[in-house]
């Protein structure tokens, strides 16, 4: 079975790093990821650069890409203006994310859950007219940095509304890395029951990211976000450390018999290269420990 | 359902740390773990202190304990002499470990798999006569640092022979941290089919430790080794970094609805204390990120 991995390293990975990489370096990161076989890359974030200086120059990143045939280059947007910038800049896919809780929606995007859901529906419609793919992420779906536990029924209610608009996929995001496999199974099955492609986005803050990924793919998710080297976080969510490292996820998935299209050894080289660019060791483990063929036969 | 966690931090955790802790500090670590509710602690290693200087003074560790009613204090042994020292020192449980591959058996214990298996049978018998618990660990059961992949059928054949001797449990160890849940399920189910209590011992070298723990308990394992703070490794196995962090495992298990008897917040304090004693940040994630109640309701 095939799982599509979206490397969000150039966006979610880098947006919380102290070291700011120039747009041309971020474009080069995308090129390297595409060359390693990543089918989709979240190349840039069309947010206000005053709020997230690491993501300034989204248009330059897009212009700097050496686009690879078959690779999907996505851009994150948090509002309609961002959507317009992203489409103008030539993304293949718009990824619109909004929190499922009121406090986080207010703090992160100065909106309400109802307004954000309505915007999701509108952006799906606009994307269809504009001929770009559209992915909708439900942030803080497994727990909220301010409100604590989040009811699965609440998340699935929002997922149902979004699913009716028929986006290319719905991504359930554990923004602060608190989820456990039991939750993952309930949310993924519930979302998939709406007849939509389901993705998951895990942060490895409490070491549950890989276990959650296993639960996700075994419950029907076919898309997983990850970040090369395990960089990343969320600048507005306290303690939200890195995304699941893409190479750790690929190691796991290949060992479990899933296909990803990714060349793991090439990806490990990208992690090493990024580690050099950021001037520090990254949280990913496989790039440090080395690749191994775990299953006999 | 209840899962019994064995904290192997005082042994497997500390044996690969550059900083050597005095026996009284290791005894204090055991006391702190017992006070946090750990039902079993691997307190000491009865190996040659010339080979593993971190573990020198096993008898002093045992003497230094303030034994807590109901807590099981175990000692690791790699041969018959170690067994005799451990029983003499007053352990409640002897844990005998041997590799399932010839190269590792030779390098780690200067033995063969056949001889090591025969010794397991003999030690189970001696332990019964001596009135101590006995646990048998099959090392490198998921992959070998020298030989690579290990056939599950080979591991299960050894497990079957050991099971016939009726130890208190058989522990399947991923000594170099290469396993994936697919293997875990096959090995745990296969070992449990021999009618023995099955434990697992995972290293988090490639970020699969927690995912493997989920697979283990859902396949019938009822005992899990872990190391507070995620310290540890194996001095003779290249790249075998830390055990799964006990607090990360407890976070996961409680979130999944399992009982462990462990007070997670108290355990997090033990990890912080140990981090101070070792003078470094430890790999465990929950003690840094903080506890959260992930499931709504």
CB within 8 Å: A151 and B293: no
Q: Given an 8 Å threshold on Cβ–Cβ distance, is B293 in contact with A256? A: no
Q: List, in sequence order, every beta strand (DSSP E) within B78-190.
A: 93-99, 133-139, 169-174
Backbone phi, then psi, for A174, in 5-degree steps?
A: -95, 75
Cβ neighbors of A25 (< 8 A, separation 6 or more) are: A277
Under 8 Å between Cβ of A42 and A11: yes
Asked if B149 and B180 touch (Cβ cutoff 8 Å), the reply is no
CA-nearest residue of chain A to B251? A206
Phi-psi map region of B138: left, alpha, beta (phi>0 left; psi -120 to 50 alpha):
beta
> Per-residue pLDDT tens for A143-161?
998 999 999 999 999 999 9
Give me the long-range contacts of A123-129 (CB less than 8 A, separation at least 24).
A123/A77, A123/A80, A123/A83, A123/A94, A123/A96, A124/A162, A124/A165, A124/A166, A124/A167, A125/A165, A126/A83, A127/A83, A127/A87, A127/A94, A127/A167
Using the Cβ of A281 and the Cβ atoms of chain B, whether some distance falls under 8 Å is answered with: no
A142/B294 CB distance under 8 A: yes
Other beta carbons less than 10 A from residue A18's beta carbon = 8
Chain A residues inside the 8 Å CB shell of B292: 143, 148, 176, 178, 206
A151, A205, A294 member nearest B143 (Cβ): A294
Residues paired with residue A137 on neighbouring β-strands, in sequence order:
A97, A171
Asked if the model's pLDDT at residue B27 lies above 50, the reply is yes
Mean pLDDT lowest among A56-60, A258-262, B50-54, B234-238: B234-238
Is A193 touching B (CB cutoff 8 A)?
Answer: no
Of residues B181, B208, B294, nearest to A178 (C-beta): B294
Q: Binning pLDDT at 50, 70 and 90, where does residue B236 land? A: low
Q: Is A37 on the interface with B (CB under 8 A)?
A: no
Which position among A120, A132, A191, A234 bears the catalytic label? A234
Q: Examine the pLDDT at B234 and tell me if it is beyond 70.
A: no
Give the lowest-confidence range in A133-137, A230-234, B17-21: A230-234
The question of ipTM being above 0.85 is answered as yes
How do B198-202 and B93-99 pair as beta strands? unpaired
Span B4-289: which CATH code? 3.20.20.70
Residues from chain B that touch A182, judged by Cβ atoms under 8 A, are: 255-257, 295
Q: Which of A96, A115, A103, A107 is nearest to A45 (CA)?
A: A96
A contacts of B285 (beta carbons < 8 Å): 204-207, 241
A236 pLDDT higher than 60: no
Model confidence pLDDT, tens digit, residues A167-203 = 999 999 999 999 999 999 999 999 999 999 999 999 9
End-to-end Cα spacing for chain A = 19
B289 shares contact with chain A (CB less than 8 Å): yes
A234 is catalytic: yes
Nearest to A182 by CA among B284, B264, B292, B296: B296
Mean pLDDT of the A289-294 span: 79
pLDDT band, very low/low/confident/very high, at B293 (cuts 50, 70, 90): confident
Q: How many helices (H) and strands (E) would you count in chain B?
A: 11, 8
Of the candidates B245, B257, B292, the beta carbon closest to that of A143 is on B292
Mean pLDDT of B214-241: 82
Cα B96 → chain centroid: 11
CB B139 within 8 A of CB B267: no
Read off the pLDDT band of B291 (50, 70, 90): confident
- Would you state the pLDDT for residue B129? 98
Option in B208, B257, B289 nearest A177 (CB): B289
Q: Which residue of A has its CA nearest to B179?
A: A294
Beta strand ranges found along chain B (DSSP E): 4-7, 40-45, 72-77, 93-99, 133-139, 169-174, 198-202, 223-226
Closest CA to B102 of B166, B167, B134, B148: B148
For A64-76, what is each residue's pLDDT tens digit? 999 999 999 999 9
Distance from CA of A151 to the nearest CA of B (A): 5
Distance between CA atoms of residues B171 and B98, nearest Å: 11
User: Distances from the Cα of B5 to the Cαs of A211, B38, B96, in angstroms?
Assistant: 18, 7, 17
HSE-CB for B16 with a 13 A CA cutoff = 22
For residue B296, what are the CA distances in angstroms to A140, A146, A205? 13, 14, 19
Six-digit token string for A182: 């039991």
β pairing state of B223-226 and B4-7:
parallel
- Burial (CB < 10 A; 0-12, 13-18, 19+), residue A66, is exposed
Domain ranges of chain A: 4-289
The residue among B55 and A74 whose pLDDT is bigger is: A74
Q: Specify the pLDDT at position B296.
A: 43
Structure tokens at B7: 């904290």
Q: What is the pLDDT of residues B118-173, one digit of tens each?
A: 999 999 999 999 999 999 999 999 999 899 999 999 999 999 999 999 999 999 99
Q: How far is B197 from chain A (nearest CA, A)?
A: 24
Q: Considering Cα of A291, then A296, then B5, then B7, what sign does the dihedral take?
A: negative
What residues in B contact A252, CB-CB < 8 Å? 180, 206-208, 211
| A70 touching B (Cβ < 8 Å) | no
Neighboring chain B residues of A293 at a CB cutoff of 8 Å = 148-149
> In the structure encoding, which two tokens stand for residue A127, read together?
């994307």
- CB atoms < 10 A from the CB of B128, how many? 15
By Cβ distance, the residue of B149, B151, B239 closest to A289 is: B239
Map tokens 């209840």 to a residue.
B2
Rounded CA separation A283/A241 (Å): 10
């Amino acid at each position: 079975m095939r799982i599509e991995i979206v490397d969000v390293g150039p966006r979610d990975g880098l947006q919380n790093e102290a070291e700011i990489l120039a747009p041309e370096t971020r474009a080069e990161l995308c090129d390297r990821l595409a060359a390693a076989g990543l089918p989709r890359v979240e190349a840039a974030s069309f947010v206000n650069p005053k709020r997230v200086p690491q993501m300034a120059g989204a248009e330059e990143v897009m212009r700097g890409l050496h686009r690879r045939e078959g690779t999907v280059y996505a851009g994150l947007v948090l509002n309609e203006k961002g959507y317009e910038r992203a489409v103008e800049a030539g993304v293949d896919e718009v990824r619109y994310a909004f929190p499922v809780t009121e406090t986080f929606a207010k703090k992160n995007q100065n909106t309400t859950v109802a307004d954000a859901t309505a915007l999701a529906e509108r952006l799906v419609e606009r994307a269809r007219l504009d001929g770009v793919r559209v992915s909708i992420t439900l942030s803080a779906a497994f727990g909220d940095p301010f409100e604590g536990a989040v009811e699965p029924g609440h998340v699935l209610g929002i997922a149902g509304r979004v699913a009716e608009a028929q986006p290319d996929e719905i991504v359930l995001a554990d923004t602060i890395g608190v989820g456990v496999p039991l939750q993952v199974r309930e949310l993924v099955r519930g979302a998939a029951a709406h007849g939509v492609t389901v993705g998951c986005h895990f942060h490895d803050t409490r070491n549950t990211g890989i276990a959650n990924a296993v639960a996700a793919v075994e419950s029907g998710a076919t898309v997983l976000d990850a970040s090369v080297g395990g960089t990343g976080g969320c600048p507005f969510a306290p303690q939200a450390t890195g995304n699941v490292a893409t190479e750790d996820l690929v190691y796991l998935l290949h060992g479990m018999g899933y296909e990803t299209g990714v060349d793991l050894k090439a990806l490990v080289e990208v992690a090493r290269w990024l580690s050099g660019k950021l001037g520090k060791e990254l949280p990913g483990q496989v790039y440090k420990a080395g690749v191994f063929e775990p299953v006999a036969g």
